[in-house]
Copies of this chain bind each other. A is one copy, B any other.
Amino acid sequence: MSPRKSAIETAATRTRIIECALTLASAEGLEGVTIGRLATELGMSKAGVIGHFGTKEALQLATLDAAVERFRARVPVRVAGADPGVARLARAFGEWIDSMADDEGNAGCFITSVATEFDGRPGPVRDAVLAALASWAGYVAAELRAAVEAGDLPGDTDVDQLVFELNGVALAAEQAIQLHRDPAAPERARRAIDRLLGR
C-alpha cells in the first residue's frame, strides 16, 4: 500500500506521469496515450494515474502545457540574452532546429504533431495548441519588428509574410528530421532561415 503521500511526493508522481505521457505521445500521438498504457509503463494502477487529472482530456492539456513550457525553456529563454532582432531570432531558430535532432524531449515537434492531430477536432486541446502557436508567432513577429526598427531588415518588410515563411522552414525541418531522418535537414533549415533573415 502506498497512500497518504506528502504533497511533494504527489507532485513528483504527477511530473513522472506527464513526462511519460510526453514520451509516449511523441511516438503515438496524444490520443494514443491511454491511461492503461501509462499505468503499465509507470508500474501503477489506472486509478492512480487518472486520479491526478480527473479526465483524459485534463491529462492531455497538462501534457501539452508541459511541452509548451519545455519549448519555452529550450528556445526563447535560452536566447534571451542575445541582441534583439535578427541576431536573437537566428539563434532562436537555431536552438529550435538543434532541439529537433535531440531524439529525447522534442517539445517543438510535439506541439506541431498535436497541432496536426487536433486541427479537425474543436475543443480545449485544439484551443491550447492554437494559443501556444499564436504566442510563438507573436514572439517572432515582435523580433522582426525590432529588426526593421534597427535597420537590419528593409523598412517595407512584410512581417506576417516572413513569420509565415520562417514557420514553413521549421515545419519542413521537422518533417525531414522526424520522418525522413535526413541528416542534411538541419543545415538546409539554417541556410533557409539565414536567407529569410537577410544574413
Using a CB–CB cutoff of 8 Å, the interface residues on chain A facing chain B are 26-29, 31-32, 112-113, 115-117, 119-121, 126, 129-130, 133, 160-161, 164-165, 167-173, 175-176, 178-180, 184-185, 188-189, 191-192
Starting from the known contacts A28-B121, A115-B179, A119-B175, 11 additional A-B residue pairs (CB-CB under 8 Å) come to: A27-B121, A29-B29, A112-B116, A113-B119, A116-B178, A116-B179, A119-B178, A161-B188, A164-B189, A165-B168, A167-B175
A119 to B165, Cβ gap below 8 A? no
- Give the docked Cα–Cα distance between A26 and B113 (Å): 15
Query: Least Cβ distance of A83 to chain B in Å?
Result: 26
Q: Most B CB atoms within 10 A — which of A113, A116, A117, A188?
A: A116
- Give the docked Cα–Cα distance between A126 and B180 (Å): 10
B113 to A116, Cβ gap below 8 A? yes
Query: Which 10 pairs show the lowest CB-CB distances between chains A and B?
Result: A168-B172, A168-B168, A171-B171, A27-B120, A119-B179, A119-B178, A116-B116, A164-B188, A168-B169, A167-B172
Query: Least Cβ distance of A156 to chain B in Å?
Result: 14
With contact pairs A120-B26, A120-B27 given, residues A164 and B176 touching in the complex (Cβ less than 8 Å): yes
Q: Point out the residues of chain B lying under 8 angstroms from A192, CB to CB.
A: 161, 164-165, 168
Q: Point out the residues of chain B lying under 8 angstroms from A172, CB to CB.
A: 164-165, 167-168, 171
Closest partner residue, chain B, to A173 (CB atom)? B168
